[in-house]
Chain A
């Protein structure tokens, strides 16, 4: 029981991070129908930007952790968004009307570029960061098990919830959200009725990258160590989450993220940690076989 509660907490934390990345995949897929393969690496870039921004802030004397974190959040989100925007502008926009595989291959290329760029610029070794936020609450403490809820975990989940709330509001209520939903329905029609499609797509990438940056910061705080390769695995899992939840659906992305996070932590706890990724990927395959459009995805009626 104690293990269960502890793993539930850990799983939700991890799932929140996956969910934030998954939103980037699901939005881009919803609007232009491509797998933005470089998105995982944008997340990795976000984590690096956060790390360097933090060190730079410390170097210039900003040592108060809450203030530093707030500034890091702003800087990392802004600069990662710039990366998201640039990737779209350079590698995807020229391929908007190209054939279907082209953007995917281009995205794989961009993913390789980002990974190697960071590796060259910052070195291949892992980057450790001492824990910035310490402490937490002990929920259960009998003699055998201690169930802890750390402050970092609270921060991760609360931030994710807050961002989700803001984001849902943007989609549901703002002009931008309406444009995005219009583009998702029909790109050509949207442009005919006066939606600036290029701008909307750019903003989609910007928002996705900003959320990925937040996930990067969370990863940095939660694990305290990053390297240039974290983007691939996190990206694949987040995409899995997006597909699991039903690609194109925002609540689906979050739900999928949580499921993947929970599957991973519970599998590690009860079976073996080596096979946690195997479990996550197997569940993806199984779910797709029985629910080909994911859990919250709209069923597709075959038009003939």
Chain B
């Protein structure tokens, strides 16, 4: 691999225990800037736990998670409070079960994502109360950014409808757009294609590829849908029972016998046979 580029995300020796259960065991991997990195593995492999550690919902038992900005600033995520990860370190995420603000409109959802810049522009509410220009300008800019993303995900016409009223696929895309409105350096997507039909899934792929192409945002995603993973990711990390079993480019992962074994549930002894079959 290209060792000259500094990785955007470096996870080192990450371990997460819940009581006696080891959900993630000494996991190390890194994600390069501009890449779409996929974290895959069978159910219960610990993928979401890794996400929760990266985005600050869990404090890892052991380990270090470093996020490096293109300008050289680095953040140790395991030391930051969850909201600071989005605010300072610019790591944003979506959820497996969509977490939109259902009772707020689509536009409001995107405006909430602009909370921090708007708070600053409103002089922590004071300028906003007075209706000063700095705030109204910032608000207009936020609406423009929202419009941009609404256009990209194709729901501009529904901007004033409650988010809970959107079809499922649009809700998924809105959640991605909302995360993008925080202008993240790293976007973590937890099974963004779950429950989508083929067409919606294709639309989502397009959106992710657009983000990679047009924005300085690297993507880390958890996904079950192999067609999505293989089609769009640049780099894949495979977890099984909290342990990394493979790490590499999609083509290499596709043929990795350990990955096949993990997915098909083959015993350890049989891996040798599988390896022989695949011809490695």
Contacts and interface: CB of A to CB of B under 8 A. Distances in A.
A304 B52 CA distance: 8
Interface string B47-80: 0100010000100000000000000000000000
A300 to B, nearest CB: 12
B95 interface: yes
Contacts of B95: 304
B52 A301 contact: no
A304 B53 CA distance: 11
Interface residues of A, number: 3
B47 to A, nearest CB: 13
Nearest to B99: A304
A177 B95 CA distance: 37
Contacts of B52: 304
A301 B17 CA distance: 12
Interface string A290-304: 000000000001101
Nearest to B18: A301
Interface in A253-304: 301-302, 304
Nearest to A301: B18
Contacts of B57: 302, 304
6 contacts: A301-B18, A302-B57, A304-B48, A304-B52, A304-B57, A304-B95
A304 B55 CA distance: 11
B85 to A, nearest CB: 13
A304 B190 CA distance: 10
Interface string B94-107: 01000000000000
Interface in A123-169: none
B74 to A, nearest CB: 25
Nearest to B95: A304
Closest 4 CB pairs of A and B: A304-B57, A304-B52, A302-B57, A304-B95
B51 to A, nearest CB: 8
A304 B48 CA distance: 9
Nearest to B96: A304
Contacts of A304: 48, 52, 57, 95
B12 to A, nearest CB: 23
Interface string A62-91: 000000000000000000000000000000
B167 to A, nearest CB: 24
Nearest to B48: A304
Nearest to A304: B57
Nearest to B190: A304
Contacts of B48: 304
A96 B48 CA distance: 33
A301 B57 CA distance: 10
Contacts of A301: 18
A135 B57 CA distance: 60
A199 B149 CA distance: 51
Interface string A9-33: 0000000000000000000000000
A302 B48 CA distance: 13
A233 to B, nearest CB: 38
Nearest to B55: A304
Contacts of A302: 57
Contacts of B18: 301
Interface string B177-188: 000000000000
Nearest to B58: A302
A304 B51 CA distance: 10
A301 B19 CA distance: 11
B78 to A, nearest CB: 16
B220 to A, nearest CB: 16
A299 to B, nearest CB: 10
A299 B34 CA distance: 39
B113 to A, nearest CB: 17
A130 to B, nearest CB: 56
Interface string A206-241: 000000000000000000000000000000000000
A304 B95 CA distance: 7
Interface string B241-260: 00000000000000000000
A302 B18 CA distance: 12
A176 B249 CA distance: 57
A217 B214 CA distance: 75
B40 to A, nearest CB: 19
A301 B48 CA distance: 14
A219 B18 CA distance: 45
Nearest to A302: B57
